[in-house]
Amino acid sequence: MSRPPDPTNPLTSLRFDNRFTRLLPGDPLTENSRRQVFNACYSRVTPVRPVAPQLVAYSPETAALIDLDSAACTSPLFTRVFSGDLVLPGMDPHAACYGGHQFGNWAGQLGDGRAINLGETVNRRGEHWTLQLKGAGPTPYSRRADGLAVMRSSLREFLCSEAMHHLGVPTTRALSLILTGEMVERDMFYDGRPEEEPGAVVCRVAPSFLRFGNYELHAARGELEVLRRLADFTIRTLFPHLGEPSPVIYGQWFAEVCRTTAELMVHWLRVGFVHGVMNTDNLSILGLTIDYGPYGWLEDYDPLWTPNTTDAEGRRYCYGRQPTIAHWNLAQLANALHPLIGDPEPLEQGLTDYSRWFEEGWQATMAAKLGLVAFQAETDTTLTQDLLALLPAVETDMTLFYRHLADIPAGNADDRIAPAELAAPLMAAFYRPEQLTPTYLEQLGSWLGRYRQRLRHDGLVDAERKQRMHAVNPKYVLRNYLAQLAIDDIGAGDFSLTSELLDVLRHPYDEQPGRERFAEKRPEWARHRPGCSMLSCSS
Ligand code: AMP
Ligand code: MG
């Protein structure tokens, strides 16, 4: 294990420029004990060395971001470095200090409890990418937990990060999934029956892992000098186009966070993603999807659906509420930034604009999903509202519905097609044939009639419209049960489904003949199976 690294491996020539630790105040204590850390943005901490690390999968696209080729990724050195076994020269491992509002309540200090940033590598294009191990051992922020992660949740984070990227949804990326060789105890459903599960480490990659909660914690503690330094650091390194930090620029920065967050919410709704734990410590300052925990994908369209069992009662973070929650979270960020600006006006403006940006973005996205050239409020407001009321009336697979809607011909005004015949291309989307009553089919047929009329008004050729619709309505998403099948297989020592899913999800909008089984609706066995329809925060 302790042979010297091979100097020809591109890993050994990774360059590091650790701006976060160099430019921001750190915790003077280096002892790795759980504690409150004041007046500091991070604490230095060393990853725990794994017993027997084993590479399950890596993402070639994320590797390319940091100039690593497949030979480097399959080298023993890669597995050592990205499991926490070996810290490379130039790295500066640390855990970030942040707080957050959890389920609407201020929770105080949280911090990277099981994430260790290795450092910021600079690629050939001069871009900085922060490398972060999740599950590599405790930090001063681990509170009462162990700092570890299990394979089940790590696989879900690894695959979903990459799937989201290929769907065009802003996200942190995942470089690798590595089993540590150790077992980790988890009480998956908090029912007092803990079990041993294989431990794993994911290496995540992003320009920054800063969250709303980083700013909130310093503001809540009155650490205004640290808050100002962190804000200035953020603007200089991540928002340099805004110019030198000043009260006016802080306002413009907040507006940009509001805009990117609004765009992110539009994307989540477009693809049917439910984050599951939209606490302010899980919202990225860059508008990235971050912290994949008990997330899920809408199968049957239900705006109140949440995969997170911890939230089953209140459904605070259900699919349909995500844009409202993001606004609430932005309001907490605004409160935190207020002392820097003094004037509430630009912050209030940002929050008002958020709602407008979200609304405009959502309308444009709905138009695109329906294959309309542009959203025309007079007709399309009710057209989309009526559709979104129709979808939950019977169990309708959201992904399949939009995908197959592209097969509905615009037709002619004098067509006389029976509702059932008109709806035929959509049949694959329905879970329960017995729900397709004549009344329902009548309603669906009537909506399709209006839809076709609207399509004829645009006058696009069917084939062209289909192409446009297929570019925004994915065929392949990481259905909850697919991730679970890959988890089951890894448990049995078989990594092939993980690789295959990673590959399928690389082209989510393409037909990919021969891979249709990955685009099918959730099988009945998965309806109530834990991991497929219900997830807990235990990970
Ligand atoms: P989450 O909402 O899952 O992103 O986590 C909330 C907080 O709990 C964060 O500060 C995490 O770092 C921390 N946390 C979650 N799981 C663990 C764990 N197994 N060990 C240490 N800290 C954890
Ligand atoms: Mg988190």
Q: Which of 101, 112, 141, 210 to mutate to test the pocket of ligand 1 (most atoms within 8 A of CB)?
A: 141
Q: Is 277 near ligand 1, meaning CB less than 6 Å away?
A: yes
Cite the DSSP H helix spans in 419-461. 419-422, 438-458
Dihedral pair phi/psi, residue 262, rounded to 5° = -60, -40
Ligand lying nearest the CA atom of residue 149: 1
Q: Is 211 near ligand 1, meaning CB less than 6 Å away?
A: no
- Nearest Cα neighbor of 68 from 151, 135, 12 is 12
Please give the single-letter amino acid code of residue 96. A
pLDDT for 2:
53
Ligand lying nearest the CA atom of residue 112: 1
- Nearest Cα neighbor of 213 from 164, 141, 312, 149 is 141
Average pLDDT for residues 499-527, to the nearest whole number?
Answer: 97
CA-to-CA distance for 260 and 257, rounded, in angstroms? 5
Average pLDDT for residues 469-496, to the nearest whole number?
Answer: 97
Atom of ligand 1 nearest to the CA of 147: 20
pLDDT at 4 over 70: no
Structure tokens at 134: 């999740």
Average pLDDT for residues 507-514, to the nearest whole number?
Answer: 98
How far away, in angstroms, is 102 Cα from ligand 2 center? 10
How far away, in angstroms, is 54 Cα from ligand 1 center? 24
Residue 30 banded pLDDT, cuts 50, 70, 90: very high
Residue-averaged pLDDT of the chain: 96
Ligand lying nearest the CA atom of residue 211: 2
Dihedral pair phi/psi, residue 198, rounded to 5° = -65, 135
Is 281 a known active-site residue? Answer: yes
How far away, in angstroms, is 7 Cα from ligand 1 center? 36
Average pLDDT for residues 404-423, to the nearest whole number?
Answer: 92
Give yes or no for a contact between 236 and 351, defined as CB atoms under 8 angstroms apart. Answer: no
How far away, in angstroms, is 291 Cα from ligand 2 center? 5
Give yes or no for a contact between 481 and 532, defined as CB atoms under 8 angstroms apart. Answer: yes
Average pLDDT for residues 377-387, to the nearest whole number?
Answer: 98
- Residues 6+ positions from 354 with CB-CB distance below 8 Å: 258, 259, 261, 262, 326, 327, 330
Give yes or no for a contact between 365 and 471, defined as CB atoms under 8 angstroms apart. Answer: no
Q: Is 145 near ligand 1, meaning CB less than 6 Å away?
A: yes
How far away, in angstroms, is 154 Cα from ligand 1 center? 13
How far away, in angstroms, is 74 Cα from ligand 1 center? 30
Q: Is 197 near ligand 1, meaning CB less than 6 Å away?
A: no
Q: Which one of 67, 85, 112, 281 is the catalytic residue?
A: 281
Ligand lying nearest the CA atom of residue 295: 1
Q: Is 411 near ligand 1, meaning CB less than 6 Å away?
A: no
How far away, in angstroms, is 342 Cα from ligand 1 center? 33
Residue 414 banded pLDDT, cuts 50, 70, 90: confident
Residue 3 banded pLDDT, cuts 50, 70, 90: low
How far away, in angstroms, is 281 Cα from ligand 2 center? 6
Average pLDDT for residues 382-392, to the nearest whole number?
Answer: 98
Dihedral pair phi/psi, residue 512, rounded to 5° = 50, 70
DSSP characters over 462-488: HHHHHHHHHTTS-S----HHHHHHHHH
Percent of the chain with pLDDT over 70: 99
pLDDT for 47:
98
Percent of the chain with pLDDT over 90: 93
CA-to-CA distance for 386 and 366, rounded, in angstroms? 12
How far away, in angstroms, is 293 Cα from ligand 2 center? 8
Dihedral pair phi/psi, residue 29, rounded to 5° = -80, 140
Average pLDDT for residues 360-371, to the nearest whole number?
Answer: 98
Ligand lying nearest the CA atom of residue 153: 1
pLDDT for 126:
98
Q: Is 184 near ligand 1, meaning CB less than 6 Å away?
A: no
pLDDT at 521 over 90: yes
Q: Is 142 near ligand 1, meaning CB less than 6 Å away?
A: yes
Q: Is 291 near ligand 1, meaning CB less than 6 Å away?
A: yes
- Nearest Cα neighbor of 62 from 204, 256, 167 is 204
pLDDT at 181 over 60: yes
CA-to-CA distance for 88 and 509, rounded, in angstroms? 38
Residue 18 banded pLDDT, cuts 50, 70, 90: very high
| Protein residue with least CA distance to atom 13, ligand 1 | 113
Residue 420 banded pLDDT, cuts 50, 70, 90: confident
pLDDT in tens, 315-360: 999 999 999 999 999 999 999 999 999 999 999 999 999 999 999 9
| Protein residue with least CA distance to atom 12, ligand 1 | 113
Q: Please tell me what DSSP assigns to residue 289.
A: B
pLDDT at 263 over 80: yes
Atom of ligand 1 nearest to the CA of 111: 10
| Protein residue with least CA distance to atom 8, ligand 1 | 113
pLDDT in tens, 217-257: 999 999 999 999 999 999 999 999 999 999 999 999 999 99
Burial annotation 239-252 (CB, 10 A radius, 16+ → b, else e): beebeebeeebbbb
Q: Is 232 near ligand 1, meaning CB less than 6 Å away?
A: no
Q: Is 34 near ligand 1, meaning CB less than 6 Å away?
A: no
Q: Is 113 near ligand 1, meaning CB less than 6 Å away?
A: yes
pLDDT at 1 over 70: no
Q: Is 275 near ligand 1, meaning CB less than 6 Å away?
A: no
pLDDT at 195 over 80: yes
| Protein residue with least CA distance to atom 23, ligand 1 | 113
Dihedral sign for Cα atoms in the order 305, 308, 309, 314: negative
pLDDT at 415 over 90: no
Q: Is 108 near ligand 1, meaning CB less than 6 Å away?
A: no
pLDDT in tens, 109-145: 999 999 999 999 999 999 999 999 999 999 999 999 9
pLDDT in tens, 73-94: 999 999 999 999 999 999 999 9
Q: Model pTM? A: 0.97
- Nearest Cα neighbor of 394 from 457, 332, 453, 443 is 443
Atom of ligand 1 nearest to the CA of 291: 4
pLDDT at 416 over 90: no
- Residues 6+ positions from 117 with CB-CB distance below 8 Å: 20, 42, 93, 94, 95, 96, 130, 131, 132, 209
| Protein residue with least CA distance to atom 15, ligand 1 | 113
3-state helix, strand, coil in the chain (%, to 5): 45, 15, 40
Dihedral sign for Cα atoms in the order 244, 245, 246, 251: positive
